Structure formats: structure tokens, C-alpha cells
Amino acid sequence: MENRTEINICLGSSCFSRGNKNTVRIIDEWLKKNNLRDKVYYHGSHCFATCDKGPMLKINDQIYHGVDSERAIEILRDHFKL
């Protein structure tokens, strides 16, 4: 996992029901489209323990709150400078 960006999406029931189910798919498609799958460790976790601020997305040590599919792509573009 050296030199790979860690992207962690909350799959707890609250975040999942509020849109992360779709966001998981959108992020995966975006990573493939931009040839970044081999540069990231993309995975889900069960609950970030701040359900009232979800849906949640974490890139390396930065946590993003209230993330929908559109915002997730904006965050990724900013992070990868695309």
C-alpha cells in the first residue's frame, strides 16, 4: 500500500441509506476512468461514528462530511489535481 492514496467510504447503515451505496459505484467508475485504481486503496468501513454528519468519505487522514456522489467527484478531482 506504499505511496497509495487511501480512500475509505462509510458503509454504516446511516451513510449507506443516505446515498453512499450509489457513491461507492460512482467513485469506482471515476477511478477506473482516470486510470487511478492502481494508485489507491479504495475500501469501505462500517461506521465512522459520526452518523449525524454523513454520508462520510475519508481520503488518507482527511474526513469529509455530507458527501453525495457529485461532491465525492469534486473532492477526488481536487485531491488528484484533475
Is 48 or 33 the better-scoring residue by pLDDT? 33
Nearest-angstrom CA–CA distance, 72 and 64: 9
Q: Please say if the pLDDT value at position 51 is more than 90.
A: no
Q: Please say if the pLDDT value at position 73 is more than 90.
A: yes
| Domain segments of the chain as ranges | 5-80
Q: pTM of the predicted model, to two decimals?
A: 0.89
Nearest-angstrom CA–CA distance, 53 and 30: 24
Q: How far apart are the first and last CA of the chain?
A: 22
Residue type, 32: K
5-80: CATH number:
3.40.30.10
Mean pLDDT of 54-77: 94
Share of the chain above pLDDT 90, in %: 70
Please write the tens of the pLDDT for every residue from 7-46. 999 998 888 888 888 999 999 999 999 999 999 999 999 8
